[in-house]
Amino acid sequence: MSLFGALTSGVSGLTAQSSAMGSISDNITNVNTIGYKGTEVSFETLVTVQTSSTFYSAGGVQSKPRQDTGVQGLLQSSTSQTDIAISGNGFFVVNEASAPTLSNEFLFSRAGSFYQDDEGFLRNTSGYYLQAWPTTADGIVTTNNTSLTVPNQNVISTDFLATVNLNRVGGTATATTTIGIGTNLPSNDAEGTTHKTDVQFFDSLGNANTTSFIYTKTNRDNQWDVELTPPPGVEVATLYADTAGSDVYESRGVLQFTGLVADAGTVTITQTVGTSTTTTTYEFDRDASVIAGNVQVDVSAATTVAQYVSALETAIKSADSNFADHGGFTNTRVDVSAGDSTTLYFTDDGTSAITIDPTGLLTTAGARATTQETSYTVKKKGSDYRDFHQFTFTTAMTLTDGDVVTINGINYEIDSDASVTAGNISVSATTGAASTAAQLNTFLSNLETAIETNDASFASGAATVRVRNVYATASGGNADTLVLENLSSGSFDVTFTAGFSAVPTEPDGTASYTAGTAFSIEKLNGVTFDSDGLPSGFNVSELEFTGFANGASNMDDDASNASRITLDLGTVAEANGFTQFGAEFTPGFITQNGSQFGTLAGITIDNAGLMTALFDNGETRPIFKIPLATFVNVNGLNARSGNVWNQTQASGDNTLREANNGVAGSIEQAALESSTVDIGEEFTRMIVVQRAYSAATKIISTADEMLEELVRIKR
């Protein structure tokens, strides 16, 4: 029994050492396998229970292979941006299918040699696809299943994890939200001198647009007006004095013609006059026949788009007193663009908002004759930013003898009986229970003359004080509105006495003037400077563009649209933007954010596993977050072909974690985890195994010889 036991023991030794040799051969052949974990064979005794204290029964040896999955391999650098390695605990979650179903098992791997296949999926050299959490553009983890609203980051499921596919990462475009301008405006420029800065910005579709800022030296020292030229293809461009969007510094509408308007084509303009809304329809006419009530736009001799535009401007100025020139003043409320004779600008001056409806402007072929297709509104200019103020009287008001209006410190008294209070200036007027249009016309004309005669600030014959009509046509009618411009000498007050029975309103009926309360007239210009040439105040803060012809979102701060553009001209009392020194006009810088459309150029992956797409326009956007799976007993995982493992009862259930958080290791981009095999150690073990195997063979050969001797006894 003992000899046969010795033979069996020797055989077990051969078997165990063969197993060890097998692990060594596997280790050596996988010395360059990314993420491979070396296998080590340990031995344990096989002991036969001894039945006699004087006789030994041989047992043997048994091999116990163990793959030390938790050992960290050395990290080596890589030139591929999709190669990733784990430094610390955890495994990548992978799947054998690009679109996993219930029959496709999720597995775990440390082999981060991923590459983009022909469908855009990230898969490693063993063919397994990388799984990750989708994210929003803000980098917040979301669900792969869009019908679910709460992402469960602990569950490995196709509801929450998605196969990383870079082909599905669409291009990006970012609308401009900030424009910064720095420039020096010459301090010695004469009044009326203009300078211009052209600025490019991007809409929500990534289209590049160009707008212009025009700076005009005003009649006030160290003050400049700012004017905005709309880009082509928009409906309205508005410049706000505040970031809340309540104070309009300037609003300008665009009517851009692209072809000749068919006969009977119409455009409608709507305004508020007094307390009512007035609508005027202008009809393009080639045959001297227009619909009753429409205003003729005579294009019988016109052959070019520019001539059509000029004819429309002429018709508007002739038919509507609110657009007409008056009192030596050139009204630019409607004006042909200086840079494009096929474009009309509508710019409110404080009269009222203007609504333009171009839907009736078609060519003979039925196509659009203008870039603008829908009705749009030019906003009313804020009272603090007007070049002049208007005081509109109506026949519903009563002119009363003895009522006084004080303008720039001088009292002008309504006089119907050639008797006024000492020191007051007589303004002849017919008084009574009601005022006719003719009586108002006479009173305002006399008031204009009295102002020009008695106040040197309002020169006779100049347009600084003038009268015009709001309710009548431009070609005739009685004056009903007094217009007072800002003065270069500073602000001045207008006060109607407490008993004044004919307090005027603004032309659109807005009651801005109160009897007995002084109304101060002084324009707040776009940029003001102190005597050191540094800015002392900015009254332009935001830009709004609406009605893009290319389909881009309005830039109007609406929650469903893009944001307005914040205008940064520098800091008050600092020379970090606009300055006014004794030098030439010197553009310093123009900066803006936003970008045009860009395609995927690469990815970056941070230590927490956040995968960010890089686009060739310089923009970035988070797209996935790579989780790591950890186990209580990593050595209990079951190895599978392709350098992957599946969980077992011995390993315990997986826990999905964010990388670089808690016990989970960090993710390193452009790196790979080397095999944990030490080839020198393996060859040393091979020598030991070889000698042990040889020794085991000696056990068998010696036992065989002893058995042979035993057989000879019988002979």
* Residue 637: C-alpha distances to residues 70, 91, 94 (Å): 10, 11, 15
| pLDDT for residue 97 is more than 80 | yes
Q: Can you give the pLDDT at residue 104?
A: 94
Show which of 490, 521, 552 is a domain's final residue. 521
Structural element, H or E, at residue 305:
helix 305-319
| pLDDT for residue 551 is more than 80 | yes
Across 40-54, 83-97, 478-492, 513-527, least confident range: 40-54
499 contacts: CB under 8 Å, gap ≥ 6:
400, 403, 515
Sign, CA torsion 192/179/252/173: positive
User: Do 55 and 179 share a domain, yes or no?
Assistant: no
161 contacts: CB under 8 Å, gap ≥ 6:
93, 106, 131, 132, 133, 144, 627
User: Do 661 and 682 share a domain, yes or no?
Assistant: no
User: Do 646 and 610 share a domain, yes or no?
Assistant: yes
User: Do 352 and 269 share a domain, yes or no?
Assistant: yes
Q: What is the pLDDT of residues 390-446, one digit of tens each?
A: 999 988 888 899 999 999 999 999 999 989 999 999 999 988 766 788 899 999 999
In this prediction, residues 202-215 reach a mean pLDDT of 95
Sign, CA torsion 140/141/146/147: negative
654 contacts: CB under 8 Å, gap ≥ 6:
108, 156, 629, 630, 631, 647
Q: Can you give the pLDDT at residue 710?
A: 78
User: Do 406 and 498 share a domain, yes or no?
Assistant: yes
Nearest-angstrom CA–CA distance, 436 and 429: 11
User: Do 668 and 637 share a domain, yes or no?
Assistant: yes
Tokens encoding 354: 């203007």
Range of the domain at 578: 175-208+231-246+528-594
| Structural contact between residues 502 and 392, judged by C-beta atoms closer than 8 angstroms | no
Taking 3-state DSSP, the helix, strand and coil percentages for the chain, each rounded to the nearest 5, stand at 15, 35, 50
SS3 at position 235: coil
Q: What is the pLDDT of residues 569-623, one digit of tens each?
A: 999 999 999 999 999 999 999 999 999 888 899 999 999 999 999 998 888 999 9
* Domain presence at residue 665: yes
| pLDDT for residue 563 is more than 60 | yes
In this prediction, residues 509-530 reach a mean pLDDT of 93
Listed in sequence order, the DSSP H helices in 455-544 are: none
**Per DSSP, which regions of 562-692 are E strands?**
565-568, 578-579, 586-592, 595-598, 600-605, 610-615, 620-625, 627-630, 638-640, 644-646, 655-658, 666-669, 671-673
Residue 707's pLDDT band, with cuts at 50, 70 and 90, is confident
If one compares 82 and 434, the residue with the highest pLDDT of the two is 82
Nearest-angstrom CA–CA distance, 590 and 371: 29
| pLDDT for residue 57 is more than 70 | no
User: Do 34 and 104 share a domain, yes or no?
Assistant: no
| pLDDT for residue 1 is more than 60 | no
Residue 69's pLDDT band, with cuts at 50, 70 and 90, is confident
| pLDDT for residue 454 is more than 90 | yes
If one compares 145 and 502, the residue with the highest pLDDT of the two is 145
428 contacts: CB under 8 Å, gap ≥ 6:
415, 416, 442, 443, 446
702 contacts: CB under 8 Å, gap ≥ 6:
6
* Domain presence at residue 224: no
Q: Can you give the pLDDT at residue 9?
A: 72
Q: What is the pLDDT of residues 288-342, one digit of tens each?
A: 999 999 999 999 999 999 999 999 999 999 999 999 998 889 999 999 999 899 9
| pLDDT for residue 665 is more than 60 | yes
* Domain presence at residue 225: no
* Domain presence at residue 491: yes
Show which of 365, 381, 397 is a domain's final residue. 381
Q: Can you give the pLDDT at residue 271?
A: 95
| pLDDT for residue 7 is more than 80 | no
DSSP state letter for 499: T
* Domain presence at residue 7: yes
DSSP state letter for 681: H
User: Do 160 and 179 share a domain, yes or no?
Assistant: no
687 contacts: CB under 8 Å, gap ≥ 6:
none
Nearest-angstrom CA–CA distance, 675 and 67: 12
* Domain presence at residue 309: yes
State how many domains the chain has.
Answer: 5
383 contacts: CB under 8 Å, gap ≥ 6:
350, 389, 512
Q: Can you give the pLDDT at residue 16?
A: 72
Report the CATH number that the domain containing residue 538 is assigned in CATH: 2.60.98.20
Q: Can you give the pLDDT at residue 194?
A: 97
Structural element, H or E, at residue 27:
helix 2-29
User: Do 393 and 516 share a domain, yes or no?
Assistant: yes
* Domain presence at residue 302: yes
User: Do 393 and 287 share a domain, yes or no?
Assistant: no
Show which of 496, 521, 546 is a domain's final residue. 521
Residue 270's pLDDT band, with cuts at 50, 70 and 90, is very high
Q: Can you give the pLDDT at residue 50?
A: 66
User: Do 94 and 37 share a domain, yes or no?
Assistant: no
Q: Can you give the pLDDT at residue 473?
A: 61
Tokens encoding 245: 């969007």
Q: Which residues of 479-518 are buried (b: 16+ CB within 10 A; e: fewer)?
A: bbbbbbbbbeeeebebbbbeebebbbbbbbeeeebeeeee
Q: Can you give the pLDDT at residue 39?
A: 75
User: Do 283 and 186 share a domain, yes or no?
Assistant: no
In this prediction, residues 15-35 reach a mean pLDDT of 78
Q: Can you give the pLDDT at residue 472?
A: 67
| Structural contact between residues 554 and 545, judged by C-beta atoms closer than 8 angstroms | yes
* Domain presence at residue 216: no
If one compares 462 and 534, the residue with the highest pLDDT of the two is 534
| pLDDT for residue 19 is more than 80 | no
The mean predicted confidence, pLDDT, of the chain is 90
CA dihedral 273, 274, 276, 278 (to 10 degrees): -10
In this prediction, residues 272-278 reach a mean pLDDT of 88
Amino acid at 300: S
In this prediction, residues 511-526 reach a mean pLDDT of 92
Nearest-angstrom CA–CA distance, 479 and 321: 10
- How many residues appear in the chain? 715
Q: Which residues of 165-190 are buried (b: 16+ CB within 10 A; e: fewer)?
A: bbeebebbbbbbbebbbbbbbbbebe
Tokens encoding 413: 């008294």
Q: Can you give the pLDDT at residue 698?
A: 79
Q: Assign residue 58 a region (left: φ > 0; alpha: ψ between -120 and 50; beta: otherwise).
A: beta
